Amino acid sequence: MSFSDKDWRKLVAAQQKIEEERRATLAKLLRLESQNNLLRRRAGDFIARDIKEIEELEKLEEDEAKERKRLAEEERKAADERAKQASDREQQELIAAMLNSDGANGLAVDDFSWLAASSSPNQSFLDTPGPCRGSSG
């Protein structure tokens, strides 16, 4: 069985067509691989940017938490100071009230307290002459 030139040309043309399709398919595969690599890089960039944004947000939240804690501590100290001042003021008012009251618990001395002292039982002892008074015996 011999092949004619026509058959031979058909065979070569079919082989060339297959080779062209193979090359086109390989080129398409290379383009798809390149696009896939580009998409992977973009996805990596997106993830990296998202991670960076998350880290920045976490840092901002941490800074805000520190600031809230600092402000709360300042407010607590201010409240403690106000409470201490109020307590000191109450104590001063109480002492002033006790000093200004008439003979409250014997803390205040009024103008007539010397009369009570002169009629006390110890007064007769003080008026008694004795060797302590510098008398010569």
Q: What is the pLDDT of residues 70-99, one digit of tens each?
A: 999 999 999 999 999 999 999 999 998 899
Here the tokens at position 96 are 């002033």
Structure confidence by residue, pLDDT tens digits, 10-64: 999 999 999 999 999 999 999 999 999 999 999 999 999 999 999 999 999 999 9
Domain ranges of the chain: 5-99
Q: How far apart are CA 118 and CA 103, in angstroms?
A: 17
